Structures are given as structure tokens and as C-alpha cells.
């Protein structure tokens, strides 16, 4: 079997020990080299890099010099949040494939890869369980005032009546509208079935037949917004989905409905959401992602009574880094097996 050179870039989140799982590919003829991206030392660096990529694009993200110095003879690159930009690609004369060990691919110049006809693989399901767990938890926390009550009790206050007192609901009496039905949205639906919630779905990128196989109802966006007690967004951020939720959409929601965002800040017009909450046009919100992170002092969200905030934690799980590498290993096993079969056919 022909040896193929794979360069794996670990960091402070997917550590060297976890990335070592890639050595399983040596059974498939791979020679594994591992290097460190010392610009990404911890989870905070990861979220900062993701926000930079989301807001300013791959061209603004720094090049990992260690990667640049070690990539020229490698045929496959495996990265987490490290940039695979045009500078890196120009240095990789033998590159055959790129693997990103996260759901998004913003840290790769995908258009440049496409020009070079180099396949890109990612760990699209790596955070699906963590984020879907968080989305359901955020619904319950906002509806049942869990975070607010905890905060008041820390202050020595025993509060029994809240701003949403007249519309605190049982989940089995609620309709939950899911905007987006990919890996995360579909898992949210599955978990909500255990609560006996009615589930509505709007996703212009997934076929009605595929969604309805799971026993949920597909509706148009207007109907979802007008009838749901919770609206949870699970779209990928793109030019088509930027500020998908704006003034018009919040105005269509019930005055008692909750908006949940564990996806991307850019999907939401922050000013429109702030106004909707402040003016009680919607019942409340639970938000994990923000246009600016950390959330700055004086941000209007911090003065609202009808919002639950978490510090970009939805995808955080000790299982996620290991799962990321497991997915990457499996995808590369499949890739290397196909390559070996094609080589045998040519022989």
C-alpha cells in the first residue's frame, strides 16, 4: 500500500493526546505528523477565532507559521480551527484533501480548494448532540425561570413571581418551531418528542419528504412564527441566512413566544431582537451566541428581565474533541480505502 503523508494540527482544544487518535490511520498506509498551533491555546481562543472567521472571513485570520513550514510535502491536512488559507494552499504542492475537525468550514478557503479540485471533509456532526441538548435546556430554562431564580437566590431573594408568570407552560402543551432541520435541528426534534411537544419545521434547504419521515410537520415560515410557543433557529450562517430573523419575523411571533439561538449570532438582527424583548413584542429569549464576545458591559441584553444568556457554551462538551477526531478518522479511512481501490483498478 502506498504511503500517504498526513499532517495533523492540534491545539488547546483538540490536544495532542486526542489528535493521536489519527495514528489509527497508519494501518491504512498513512504516515502521521503532528504539530501544534500555539495561537489557539484554549476554548476561549477557539470561540474568538470562530467569531473572527464569521465576521471578517478567512482572509483576516492569521496563518499558523508552523503549518506553513511543514506542509509542502504533505498530501492531507487535518486541522481544527487553524486556517487553511490561500498562503497555506500555495505552499502545498502535493495536497490531495483537507479535513476540518469541526462542523463549520469557515477556517478553510473553500473556493480556492474548489478551484484546485481538492476535496474538503469536515466533522459536521461533532457538536450536534451537545448543541441540541443545550437548545432544549435553554427552552426550559427561559420558560421556567431557572437561571433567574438561581441568580435571585444567590442575592438572598426568594422570588416566586416572574415577568412571564401568566405564560409559563408545560412542554407537552407547547408548539416548538424549528428553523433548520440539519444534524442539530433534527436532534432537537427527536429530544422534544420525549416532552410530547408539537413540532413544526421550516427548512428551505431540506426536502419536505425527508423531514416528514421523522413524524414532524413541515410548514411555511410565516405559519411557524405565528403559531409556535418557542422558535429555535438551527441554520448555517451564509449570505442567504444572514439576519434571517429580523424586525418582520419577530413581529410575527406570539407575544408570549420565546426565541432560542444556539446557532450563530449573525442569523439574527440583534437590534431587532433587543427591541422585540424590550417592547414585550415576544415573551422572552435564550441566547448563547453574540455579535461581540465576550458580551460587553452595557449591552442592552444585560438590562432585560426576559432573556437567558450563556457565554457561547452550547457546543461545549468533554466528548466533542474526541468525537471530532473519531469522525475525522472514519472519513479518512473511507477516503484512503477508495484511493487504494482505485490504485488497484489502475494496476
**Catalytic positions:** 264, 293, 312
Q: Return the closest-CA partner of residue 256 out of 169, 325, 148.
A: 169
d(CA 330, CA 317): 21
Distances (CA, A) of 63 to 43, 81, 113, 124, 174: 19, 11, 16, 23, 48
Cell of 82: 487553524
Cell of 163: 415577568
3-class secondary structure, 176: strand
> Both ends of the chain: CA-CA distance in Å?
12
Cell of 339: 484511493
Question: What would the DSSP string read from start to end of 30-77?
Answer: EEEEEEE-TT--SHHHHHHHHHHHHHH-GGGSPP-HHHHHH-TT-SEE
d(CA 214, CA 103): 23
d(CA 105, CA 101): 9
d(CA 235, CA 187): 13
7: preceding bond cis by omega (within 30 degrees): no
| CA quadruple 259, 264, 268, 269: dihedral sign | positive
Q: Return the closest-CA partner of residue 165 out of 181, 149, 180.
A: 149
d(CA 328, CA 103): 11
Q: Return the closest-CA partner of residue 103 out of 269, 248, 317, 336.
A: 317
Q: Is 114 left (phi over 0), alpha (psi -120 to 50) or beta?
A: alpha
Amino acid at each position: 500500500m502506498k504511503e500517504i503523508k498526513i499532517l495533523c494540527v492540534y491545539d488547546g482544544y483538540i490536544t495532542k493526546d486526542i489528535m493521536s487518535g489519527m495514528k489509527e490511520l497508519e494501518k491504512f498506509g498513512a504516515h502521521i505528523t503532528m504539530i501544534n498551533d500555539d495561537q489557539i491555546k484554549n476554548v476561549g481562543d477557539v470561540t474568538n477565532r470562530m467569531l473572527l472567521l464569521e465576521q471578517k472571513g478567512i482572509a483576516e485570520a492569521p496563518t499558523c507559521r508552523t503549518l506553513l513550514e511543514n506542509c509542502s510535502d504533505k498530501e492531507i491536512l487535518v486541522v481544527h480551527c487553524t486556517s487553511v488559507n490561500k498562503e497555506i494552499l500555495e505552499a502545498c504542492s502535493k495536497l490531495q484533501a483537507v479535513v476540518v475537525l469541526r462542523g463549520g468550514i469557515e477556517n478553510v478557503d473553500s473556493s480556492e480548494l474548489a478551484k484546485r479540485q481538492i476535496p474538503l471533509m469536515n466533522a459536521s456532526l461533532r457538536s450536534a448532540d451537545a448543541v441540541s441538548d443545550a437548545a432544549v435546556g435553554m427552552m426550559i430554562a427561559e420558560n421556567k425561570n431557572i437561571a433567574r431564580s438561581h441568580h435571585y437566590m444567590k442575592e438572598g431573594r426568594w422570588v416566586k413571581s416572574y415577568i412571564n408568570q401568566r405564560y409559563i407552560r408545560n412542554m407537552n402543551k407547547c408548539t416548538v418551531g424549528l428553523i433548520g432541520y440539519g444534524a442539530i435541528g433534527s436532534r432537537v426534534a427527536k429530544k422534544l418528542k420525549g416532552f410530547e411537544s408539537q413540532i413544526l419545521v421550516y427548512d428551505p434547504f431540506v426536502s419536505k419528504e425527508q423531514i416528514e419521515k421523522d413524524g414532524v410537520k413541515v410548514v411555511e415560515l410565516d405559519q411557524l412564527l405565528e403559531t409556535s410557543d418557542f422558535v429555535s433557529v438551527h441554520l448555517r450562517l451564509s449570505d442567504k441566512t444572514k439576519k434571517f430573523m429580523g424586525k418582520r419575523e419577530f413581529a410575527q411571533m406570539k407575544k408570549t413566544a420565546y426565541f432560542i439561538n444556539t446557532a450563530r449570532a449573525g442569523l439574527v438582527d440583534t437590534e431587532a431582537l433587543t427591541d422585540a424583548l424590550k417592547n414585550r413584542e415576544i415573551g422572552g429569549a435564550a441566547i448563547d451566541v453574540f455579535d461581540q464576545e465576550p458580551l460587553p458591559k452595557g449591552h442592552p441584553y444585560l438590562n432585560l428581565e426576559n432573556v437567558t444568556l450563556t457565554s457561547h457554551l452550547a457546543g461545549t462538551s468533554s466528548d466533542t474533541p474526541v468525537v471530532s477526531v473519531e469522525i475525522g478518522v472514519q472519513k479518512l479511512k473511507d477516503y484512503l480505502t477508495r484511493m487504494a481501490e482505485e490504485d488497484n483498478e489502475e494496476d
